[in-house]
Amino acid sequence: MINNWFKTTLLMAAIVALFGVVGMALGGRSGMLIALLVGGAMNLFAYWNSDRMVLRMYQAREVDAASGGTFYALVAELAGRAGLPMPRVYVIDEAQPNAFATGRDPEHAAVAATTGIMRLLSERELRGVMAHELAHVKHRDTLISTLTATVAGAISALAQFGMFFGGDRERPNAAVQLVIMILAPLAAMLIQMAISRAREFGADEGGAAISGDPEALASALSKIEAHARGTPLATADLHPETAQMMIVNPLSGGDLQGLFRTHPPTQQRVSRLLALARQHG
Of 245, 259, 153, the residue nearest 199 (C-alpha): 245
One-letter amino acid identity for 121? L
Find out whether 233 and 254 touch, Cβ atoms under 8 Å.
no
Q: Which of 41, 7, 11, 33 is nearest to 187 (CA)?
A: 11
Our answer to whether residue 205 is catalytic in this structure is no
Burial of residue 174 (CB within 10 Å: 0-12, 13-18, 19+) is exposed
- Rounded Cα–Cα distance for residues 92 and 265 (Å): 25
- Non-local CB neighbours of 236 within 8 Å, separated by 6+ positions: 242, 243, 246, 250, 251
DSSP state, 263?
A: S
Ranges of beta strands (E only) in 99-178 are: 99-102, 110-114
> What are residue 166's DSSP bridge partners?
none
Distance from chain centroid for Cα 140: 11
Provide the residue count of the chain: 281
How far lies 61's CA from each of 102, 115, 119, 178, 250, in Å?
Answer: 14, 11, 17, 48, 19
Among residues 77, 94, 123, 133, the one annotated as catalytic is 133
Nearest to 238 by CA among 222, 248, 225, 250: 250
Task: Show which residues are catalytic.
Answer: 133
